[in-house]
Structure 1
Amino acid sequence: MPIIPEKIVYEVRANADNNETAGTLTTRILDYMYEAKLFKLFVPSDLGGLMLPFPEALRVFERASQIDGSFGWLVTIGSGGGFFSAALPPEQSRLLFGNDNSVVAGSGHPNGIARSVDGGYIVSGQWKYCSGSTYASLFTANCRIEGEPGEEAIIRSFAFMPEQVSIIRDWNSFGLKGTDSHSISVEQTFVPTERTFDIMSNPHYDDPIFRYPFLPFAQTSFAAVCLGVCRHFLEEARSFAIARQADWTQSRPQRIATLFKAIEEQEISFEAVSLKFYEVVERSWADFTSGGRISEQDELEVGQCSQDVAKVSLACAHAIFPLLGMAVLMEDNLINRIWRDLHTVTQHSVLVPN
């Protein structure tokens, strides 16, 4: 499992304000992510990837998100694109995932229309929330295959090269600002058949992650980001309280006591949900790798634990944030940024109960 060195932790955090303002990572940080293969956690070793066991990768997502929310989100989303290396034809996988700087951005929403032609498809569409869009070496997106009126739509996934894609710089969220999560569009673009795929088809690599259902894959990945961001929030809240302890003990003794009590209570709740999450993930992953399938009960439990992580993480922030005073209302305050990042991560639909 890659260990992110302290000098990178320092650099990511030192540049977080600039990353948020610019909406993107610095070149130095991005180069480190390529070098450490943080975008290739699920890419097979013969394509230059790390191919980590899933629970290990989740801990990398948590650690990266604890360093900084945008940094962790990009590691998670970029790595998730490695899922498709086993779905594309093998020669395309080698071409598209074999480079050191290979990284995927895209969308799972079927917002494109594809018309079948000789040798491939003509595609038009627009897709939102494509994190990592400005440096992606490959874009993937889902399309509806154009058919006869009244026919049930067939959904297929398409791989676009950067020169085929227009980036619409519309990511204006209040959190995870440094993620380049812009919209993309293509217009009457030819995609050869060999750069299309069905995520439900049999993978051509044997690693179990490629047979793992996509919903629990997404739920647990984003829950790990929640854990990292919330852990950072709790650390900074405690540092904030310690820094003000002497002054507030004199001027606001009840307030500082209440703050420390709230932090301690939320740390207990957080550690409990974190422990349960990894216990469930590791047990269900072991069952999956030994049995070749995930049971319906395990899938439901994994999903519930992931949503519980989001719920408890938000509860931690809501219990503590109002006790921190006016300083944390400023957008350039670190705790304010972490609070905004946490609310942005937990807004993802797979973490919200139906």
Structure 2
Amino acid sequence: MAYTQQEIEFIRQHSLDMDKNRRFPKAVLDFIYDRRLFHLFVPNQLDGRMTELPEAARQFQACSRIDGNLGWAVTIGAGGGFFAALLEHDVSQQIFARREAVIAGSGMPTGTAKRVEGGYIVSGSWKYCSGSSYATTFTANAVIEAAETSTESDCTVSASVEKEIRAFAFHPEQIRIHPDWNAFGLRATASHTIAADEVFVPEHRTFMFDKTMGFENEPIYRYPFLPFAQVSFAAVAIGIAEHFLEAAEALAVERGGGTYVMDKLKKHSDFLRDFTTTFYKSVEASWRELLLQGGISASTEAEITAASIGAAKTALTCGQALFPLLGLAAAMEDSEVNRCWRDLQTACSHSLLRSYS
């Protein structure tokens, strides 16, 4: 789906307010809902618009080029569609089959859960849950408390050495949101901490990441989750960098367009374009392998990881190399190029995009 100049301007007219107020206005959320952008990985049977990964990545890139907050929100929200295959069909129907359906949550197992009749009692807190202010379902991982067993002879207590981790799907009223997302970029994404206190979750609203419950014919659910996430986040970084270069060029021209700065802009624009082409070649090759083989090899996974981290590093370098050349006008928080630079730094801080080599 390509976006018209009118649509781009519609979103960008809200960008400054989103950054300052740290939230999405209803008009922007409606833009997402109307285009079902949170449903890119939801099966069509659940009112989704199932999309192949290479095309979805281009969607994330296009949204991020319009506005970094938009791109990040769409990417995270769409990623929750993965859980449709892990939940019982009736539960997936309840969670996903509505216009405003979107999941916010965390993959970190920073909660605990105790087995009780019919389900679990869950407590914990989970950081960086993007979309928390408008989520219709929350998901989070928790460690299952080991069942204690005793013998009549010595009353010794034993516990399983291996920790079982299970994911839980909470109703919004079961979750408290701590509004602590005070990052200097991607300010509108509501990536707050969420918490649950002794909440009952029935068995049918829990799931395991290695156990598919339905929609086995959808290829996206066979794509390994780690490289899937890296591809998605790399596409966001590319899109934000494209917007940054666009805004940097406009500012440079406004300031007189010195040869040195314009040459640097062209150089980094060319770098980003070339690496983006390489990135998508890898993504498309991995998708073809998935369709032909039913999965992707370890070597392909490694290639996707390298391509994603490389793309993000190239995108980040655009900001690091050019921002210091743009003068005090770029240092103003309400300038377009400043917002892009902050969003780019924040997106590329994600652990899945970092490389220490």
TM-score range, shorter chain: over 0.9
**Which of 226, 238, 248 pairs up with 1:227?**
238
Q: Which position in structure 2 is the counterpart of 1:320?
A: 322
Q: Which position in structure 2 is the counterpart of 1:208?
A: 219
Answer whether contact 1:106 1:141 (CA < 8 A) is retained.
Answer: yes
- Deviation of 1:151 after TM superposition, in Å, equals 2.3
Q: Which position in structure 2 is the counterpart of 1:253?
A: none
Give the TM-score of the pair, scaled to structure 2.
0.94
- Deviation of 1:318 after TM superposition, in Å, equals 1.5
Q: Which position in structure 2 is the counterpart of 1:85?
A: 84
* Secondary structure of the corresponding residue to residue 183 of structure 1: strand
Rounded to whole Å, the distance in 2 between the matches of 1:45 and 1:160 is 23
More divergent stretch after superposition (72-81 vs 234-243)? 234-243
Asked if residue 101 in structure 1 is aligned to residue 103 in structure 2, the reply is no
Provide Cα deviations, 1:272-301, integer angstroms capped at 9, x if missing partner. 110000000001110111101111111000
Answer whether contact 1:105 1:132 (CA < 8 A) is retained.
Answer: yes
Provide Cα deviations, 1:324-350, integer angstroms capped at 9, x if missing partner. 111111111111110010000000001
Alignment RMSD (CA, Å):
1.1
Rounded to whole Å, the distance in 2 between the matches of 1:49 and 1:338 is 30
More divergent stretch after superposition (343-352 vs 144-153)? 144-153
Rounded to whole Å, the distance in 1 between the matches of 2:288 and 2:161 is 41
**Which of 233, 244, 257 pairs up with 2:259?**
257
Give the TM-score of the pair, scaled to structure 1.
0.95
Rounded to whole Å, the distance in 2 between the matches of 1:7 and 1:164 is 40
Q: Which position in structure 2 is the counterpart of 1:165?
A: 175
Provide Cα deviations, 1:208-262, integer angstroms capped at 9, x if missing partner. 11111110011000000000000001111111122222xx6xxxxxxx1110110
Asked if residue 288 in structure 1 is aligned to residue 299 in structure 2, the reply is no
**Which of 161, 167, 176 pairs up with 1:151?**
161
Answer whether contact 2:64 2:236 (CA < 8 A) is retained.
Answer: yes
Matched-pair identity in %: 45
Rounded to whole Å, the distance in 1 between the matches of 2:3 and 2:25 is 17
Aligned residues: 344
Q: Which position in structure 1 is the counterpart of 2:338?
A: 336
- Deviation of 1:203 after TM superposition, in Å, equals 4.5
Q: Which position in structure 2 is the counterpart of 1:30?
A: 29
**Which of 342, 347, 354 pairs up with 2:349?**
347
Q: Residues 308 and 203 (structure 1 numbering): CA distance in 2 closer, same or farther, change over 3 Å?
A: farther
Answer whether contact 2:185 2:339 (CA < 8 A) is retained.
Answer: yes
Answer whether contact 1:203 1:210 (CA < 8 A) is retained.
Answer: no
For 2:312, the aligned partner's letter is: A
Provide Cα deviations, 1:297-331, integer angstroms capped at 9, x if missing partner. 11000000100011111111111111111111111
Q: Which position in structure 2 is the counterpart of 1:189?
A: 199
Rounded to whole Å, the distance in 1 between the matches of 2:239 and 2:75 is 12
Rounded to whole Å, the distance in 1 between the matches of 2:355 and 2:87 is 32
Answer whether contact 1:203 1:211 (CA < 8 A) is retained.
Answer: no
- Deviation of 1:150 after TM superposition, in Å, equals 5.4
More divergent stretch after superposition (142-151 vs 225-234)? 142-151
Q: Which position in structure 2 is the counterpart of 1:64?
A: 63
Unaligned runs of 5+ in 1: 249-255
Unaligned runs of 5+ in 2: 149-158
